[in-house]
Structure 1
Amino acid sequence: MNLLSLYYFVELAKELHVTNTAQKLYISQQNLSQHIQRLEQYYGVPLFHRKPKLALTYAGEQLYAVAVKILAEEHEFQNRLADISEKSIGNLKLGIPSYRGQICLPEILPRFYAKWPNIKIELCNESSNKMEEHLYNGELDIFIGVMYQDNPKLESSTLLTDHIYLVCSDELLQRHYPDSWQKLKEESLSGVELAHFSKIPFLLPASSMKLRKTLDQCFLDAKVKPNIFLESQTTELFMSLYPHNYGAFFCTQMRLPTLLAAHPDANAFPLALKKSLINHRLVLAYHKERFLPEYAHDFIEITKDVFDGIAEVRPH
């Protein structure tokens, strides 16, 4: 048993697909299978059910829980060594949604690498819930994303109060509210009530996404059953469909510059409920009980400074 085999086992346990995991790890399927077989021989138990589809056995579930902790401790030890190394060689595991990374990392990374050229940054782009879980388990050093509730073991700092906007074209408004669309548009500039948009079809995030859960609660509170035209995991798809006027969609404030750059005439109304604007709390979080090297603390400070600038240019 070695750490590499444990690492390969954990990655396969997450993916539960040999071909995809092997490609992700840049190894052959045969090599991956050999590492799993060595672990099974070492422990004397099967770790995966092979049929009807790949799944962890009970022993595999127990090993996964332990292996995650072992690899987290080993990563923390590497961080401690990096902190005392003269060459400052190490890695930083960062969880951040891809679209947020596209906005902030081009400003963060040049400043970070000017001081820490030998640090490798590993990016994780999964759901916010999953990345928060990885952070708690020690599989990530830093998480940048949405958190609804504070965790006593996680240190979190608010980076941005990310308002939610309803994006709706003039054509959609005219089609569904021909006699009152201009008045509706003017009234919605300071905050849109979903009850006033009940006739409009919607493009909504997938039900598993945090934004969708917020929106579902808003629809429920407004006593509106949305007419759903399309659901998707990516807001980028909705932005690309904007000119076709299939329906209104929602986006966070952080996405607005990208939207308005592509469609300057787009209406973006801040979402409100009982005259209170709806928003997401975007945070930077790390585990209080995990060691963070100096370069990780520098990354945190640079990130906070960059988001201070992002917050200043957002519309109010």
Structure 2
Amino acid sequence: MPLQSLKYFLAAAEEMNFRKAAERLYITQQSLSSSIQKLERQYGVAFFERKPRLILTPAGRSMVEYVRKVLHTEQQLVAALADTSRTSTGSLRVGVTGTRGAVFMPRIWDVYHRQFPNIVVTTVEASTAELDELLRDGKIDLYIGVNVPRHNNMQVLTFMRDRIYCAFSRRFLAKAPPAWREALLDPHGFDLTKIDSMPLITFTHSNGLRYTLERFFEKQDIHPNIIFETSRHDLVLKLCRQEHGIGLVYEMILYDVLRRPDIADELYAVPVRAELPQKNTELTYRMESSHPRYLQGFIQVAQAVFEEYSQTIGAVIRRARK
């Protein structure tokens, strides 16, 4: 039972189309079909019903589960053997949601690569739900997401709470009406119910924060004065540095921006005060009897980077409020 045949079978089962599976594997459709037929003869069962359309038989569905376990075990073996050498080599598949990847992966990678220079890291950007499915299917080794689902065979590490801030320029504040200034400079934070007719620079509807804010506005019967929409976090902050409106962003988006003194002198950042669902940035991975050293190393580096972030973000934000 060559592992290659199992990989061919799994590709066909996942694609439910021999032509697409063959293209994915860079082999001919005839080679794929022949390999699967040999497996079926070896075990004396049919894994697929070919007509009227391709579907898995009960034996095929069982085979999928066992093949995934076998291939996952083989990956663990490769990783364990790599760990026996003086210089670890291997690959690590890391899932991450888009924003967190842009903010945290450069720092994580910088530290990690110094410790494990021979490990090839491949990142997969997707939603938390999509990454969770990839992890359970063994297609990634771990992922960083938001409020990740809990499973019996998964370990979850909570790194931080994603707080929401209101960002605006000193020029905007200077020309704002007294009521706006009072609300924005409230020492207890910006009461989101007082957003009133303030010009709002925000994200498009596909953004998770936009969805959260819309649910809040609907509940409070608030109709925000949206003047600009974009999917780009950097553009929101660039526009907030002008004098035309305010932006509502997650704290982590401000981190790199406000560490630059020239921008910190232009931009205010105040915490938002509102009853909103709590969002936590979390890392999750499979609970195994043992993990390769380089996977453990990545988890430790990620923990250290997020701890550094938690210790410094307060000072960065406070400087921007002076």
User: Which residue of 2 is the match for residue 214 of structure 1?
Assistant: 212
Structure 1 residues 93 and 178: CA distance shift in structure 2, 3 A: same
Residue of structure 1 equivalent to 2:282: 283
Aligned 1:66-85 pairs, distance under 5 A: 71-85=71-85
State the partner residue of 1:269.
Answer: 270
For 2:200 and 2:304, locate their aligned partners in 1 and report how far apart those are by CA, in whole Å.
Answer: 36
- Does 2:156 match 1:156? yes
Q: State the percentage of identical aligned residues.
A: 24
**Contact residue 167 and residue 237 of structure 2 kept, 8 A:** no
Q: Who is 2:113 aligned against? A: 113
Q: Name 1:292's counterpart in structure 2.
A: 291
Q: What is the CA distance between 1:196 and its match in structure 2?
A: 0.6
Q: SS in structure 1 opposite 2:112?
A: helix
Q: Is the 8 A contact 1:159 1:304 kept in 2?
A: yes
Q: 1:144 to 1:227 in 2, by over 3 A?
A: same
- From 219, 223, 226, the equivalent of 2:221 is 223
Cross-structure match for 2:42: none
Q: 1:253 to 1:146 in 2, by over 3 A?
A: same
Number of matched residues?
292
What is the identity, as a one-letter code, of the residue corresponding to 1:304? Q
Q: CA deviation at 1:156?
A: 1.3
Bigger drift between 251-260 and 72-81 goes to 72-81
In structure 2, runs of 5+ residues without a counterpart are: 38-47
The structure-2 alpha-carbon separation of the partners of 1:242 and 1:182, relative to structure 1 and needing over 3 Å to count, comes to closer
Q: Report the CA distance between 1:155 and its aligned residue.
A: 1.0
Distance 1:291 1:208 in 2: 39
Letter of the aligned partner of 2:95 in structure 1?
Answer: G
Per the alignment, in what secondary structure is the counterpart of residue 150 of structure 1?
A: coil
Are 2:129 and 1:129 aligned? yes
Which one of 236, 239, 247 corresponds to residue 237 of structure 2?
239
Tell me by how many angstroms 1:256 deviates. 0.9
Looking at structure 2, the residues matched to 126 and 77 of structure 1 have their Cα atoms a distance apart, in angstroms, of 28
Question: What residue number does 1:186 align with?
Answer: 185
Tell me: CA distance 1:295–1:173, structure 2 relative to 1, closer, same or farther (3 Å).
same
Cα distance change of structure 1 residues 4 and 148 upon mapping to structure 2, 3 Å threshold: closer
Residue type of the partner of 2:256? T
CA change 1:110–1:201 in 2 (3 A) is: closer
Q: Where in structure 2 are the equivalents of 1:90-105 lying within 5 Å?
A: 90-105=90-105
C-alpha distance in 1 between matches for 2:153 and 2:106: 30
Flag structure 1 segments of 5+ consecutive residues without an equivalent. 22-28, 48-55
Q: What's the TM-score, normalizing by structure 2?
A: 0.71
- Separation in structure 2 between the aligned mates of residue 64 and residue 246 of structure 1, nearest angstrom: 60
1:14-62 superposed Cα distances (whole Å, 9 cap, x missing partner): xxxx8xx9xxxxxxx9786645564355447799xxxxxxxx9645996
Which is higher, the Rg of structure 1 or of structure 2?
Answer: 2
- Inter-CA distance 290–90: structure 2 relative to 1 (3 Å threshold): farther
Contact 1:127 1:209 in 2 (8 A): no
Contact 2:83 2:293 in 1 (8 A): yes
Whole-angstrom CA distance in 1 between matches of 2:182 and 2:74: 61
Q: Let me know the Cα RMSD of the aligned residues.
A: 4.1
